[in-house]
Structure 1
């Protein structure tokens, strides 16, 4: 696969609210009628072959070519490189990122998303290539406000692809990663529509009786009813592919420990609990 940034064509792209993504390239990129845009998933650890989807290139006017990724088929959750195959059998080239029109994604959190919740966000990699970040989940809890106080953090969120039942057994579980089942259970305040909710986490419960001597990471899950699969909480429904380093929340101190909510590399909400420095 060719990765030389200076010679690869630059692709413009536009994302629509329904998940459709349109790519436009200069006409010289697809002189051969068999030219294609290729989406290649980055294999997870242990996977042998990457998943691929080929998109045909059609004239778009003004000497440009257009390829359209329709809302279906749904793409597996992960990261996808966007490549150009200039002719059948040619080596794929990673496309450089041109302007990305993501305005239709800005208010995604205001819409109701059906199950499964399928999200696609185009972005530019650190080396300037075009890629897609995708999420595909049976249901999702989209976070909104994260208010960090001295002793507690309060989060407002909304369910998509599911809703709370009225059996009184709904919970938010903040679970220690790799902690052999250690978790803090919180009862959320649920809105009348059974989708919006808020919950408050006591920092002292995450720290425990003694300050930790090593960092620990606590992941946030929502249990919508007894026996239901936990729904991961995070912030996916907008135009931000990677928010870990751009959405930084305050750190609270609890005795000899610190507690800080943060977004993971997957844009999921977690808490970083560790010794004060």
Structure 2
């Protein structure tokens, strides 16, 4: 699903135009040298957060009967313990199948996908055909167990990887309305024991990455059940701004003192929101200097607000 890009009401470009706001600190390895046969895997997602992988038999023709054949998931930047092995079984038409159920906990991060057979070293898999229709506009059912989200994607080197999220509670960002006075956010809360009770008395928090002591709060507006809304004033976000770039992370904090919920957008099939969702960059009359503000998603699809210096008007 590819949403329309929002048009900006000003000629200002977001900072670092043409690049992403943030890049992962670790990247996947390149594919093997040309001439090496690299198998590909098709992925099918289900609405509960599970994934099914179908691939051609790796290695020897009798690999489908090799009990050691496995799909291997390795957490990028992790250690030896950060590995999940899924048995490969005959899936029909000479293919092999591995299943990653939603009940198998996959910690947050980027997982590189390999195939292993016998004593041969595991090999990276190429992406095949993905069926991610079940992830579009996903509405998880009730429960308090962590919400599992896994989205397969193609790395810049052409490998198959997964982006995994595991969150409870989770605040899914919906409609965003950047306006002259501030940013209005609407969303839904998932995986809280009682969403309406959790939201009663809760507040929205904007936490400044530059200074952990800088926190701006906003009351939640009226909502029904799991729904919430709030408005962050640009004036409050720029009160202590002294030039340069400030990035604010957005959270919901309940009144009962239990764990907060990070605002993010992960319940769809778009693995990298910062490359797809663009919001207006608005001028703000800050006390220190002319500023500009925009909403954005970072490399983890978490919702942030960016405050930066406003370029001088062209003469």
Q: TM-score, normalised by structure 2?
A: 0.80
Specify which structure has the bigger relative contact order, considering alpha-carbon pairs within 8 angstroms and separated by 6 or more residues: 2
Q: Mapping of 1:1-277 within 5 angstroms? A: 3-4=31-32, 6=34, 7-29=37-59, 31-32=62-63, 33=66, 34-43=68-77, 48-49=79-80, 51-87=82-118, 89-108=119-138, 110-112=139-141, 114-115=143-144, 116-162=146-192, 163-165=195-197, 169-193=201-225, 195-208=226-239, 212-255=242-285, 256-277=290-311
| Distance apart, 1:200 and its partner CA | 0.8
8 Å contact kept, 2:30–2:158: no
Cα distance in 1 between the residues matched to 2:167 and 2:51: 19
| Distance apart, 1:112 and its partner CA | 3.3
8 Å contact kept, 1:37–1:82: yes
In the alignment, which residue of structure 1 is the partner of 2:11? none
Equivalenced residue count is 270
SS at match of 1:205: helix
Cα distance in 2 between the residues matched to 1:223 and 1:112: 22
In the alignment, which residue of structure 1 is the partner of 2:13? none
RMSD after superposition:
2.0
Q: Which deviates more from structure 2 when the two are superposed, residues 255-264 or residues 63-72? A: 63-72
SS at match of 1:244: helix
In the alignment, which residue of structure 1 is the partner of 2:14? none
1:26 and 1:48, CA in 2 relative to 1: closer, same or farther beyond 3 A? Answer: closer
Which segments of 5 or more consecutive residues in structure 1 lack a partner in the other structure?
Answer: none
Cα distance in 2 between the residues matched to 1:77 and 1:166: 24
SS at match of 2:274: coil
Q: Which deviates more from structure 2 when the two are superposed, residues 137-146 or residues 173-182? A: 173-182
| Distance apart, 1:5 and its partner CA | 6.9
1:214 and 1:26, CA in 2 relative to 1: closer, same or farther beyond 3 A? Answer: same
| Distance apart, 1:77 and its partner CA | 0.7
SS at match of 1:83: strand
1:100-144 deviation per Cα after TM superposition (whole angstroms, max 9, x unaligned): 110000021x33353311111111111221111111122110011
8 Å contact kept, 2:152–2:160: yes
1:195-252 deviation per Cα after TM superposition (whole angstroms, max 9, x unaligned): 201111111111116x631101001000122312221001011111111121111111
Cα distance in 2 between the residues matched to 1:142 and 1:130: 26
8 Å contact kept, 1:2–1:93: no
Cα distance in 1 between the residues matched to 2:39 and 2:141: 37
8 Å contact kept, 2:205–2:215: yes
